[in-house]
Structure 1
């Protein structure tokens, strides 16, 4: 096993981020160190990171490379040294398999938490829009935010119910749906948009 594989299996992106001073919250979100971030927009999972604002993404080695302005090789060497990984004693096959299973389960939980957090914020925005932008008379044309709230609030609350009380298959289906085609990113843009205030 080479140094890159040893580091990728031995250190999670979240462990590295926290070791190097990036505070990651319960939902896996942090202030992005790669741009002037005032609201947490960096999602840090075990095997990757992604910034919803600036678009930076990659694995643990990419993260350290970008953070310290190192080559990928030097970043891998730094991680190996800082986390006491030795090339002569790579992780065993059983440990790698267990870490892989654990990482997949953790990833699903992190994705569920992220989806729940964003959906909760979106539902709050929709409730606000439904109250604030309701037509004042039958002759008044409805505001587009009121229309969106009427169309999307029930669906959003349904997804939240599944993420709270659904079985693992149902939760995975909702997460998969939200993570495809940038749906979650679009919801986050609506939440952070000036209309959400």
Structure 2
């Protein structure tokens, strides 16, 4: 068996002096970690600075977009007001035209006789003085002379010509008249 030498302790320490101590190793690891954290922080700062720069640029563009939106809205309001005034003008013109048509229909309804030669119940009878000439009845005017401008000759009322009855429908169709007066034709198969 080999012998163990418990000899001198001084000889062992110089052999151990060549190896690094645990404290130095820990210091190197802590310094490397701090360097790594510093590098990560620097990279994060650079990306944060770039992000803030991009955010400022986007905010500036959004402000321009807001101004652009206000200009568009103002122009749309102008166009809308123009169209609205045109529609109001057309509406008033249409209402005026409808009123004129209604008045014309009312006058025609009053003056137009029915097919039998009799006037409609609401129609006014033309007076004899209005339809006579000055030469026929100068005394009917109550002493006014023919040269005075107060006398106007009115034309004789027109007589409505009775229209012919509608042609008989084809034998291929059946005529259906509803109680409200509407007439429909249905094809017979």
Higher RCO by CA contacts (8 Å cutoff, separation 6 or greater): 1
Same fold (TM over 0.5): no
Please, what TM-score do these two structures have when normalized by structure 1? Answer: 0.23
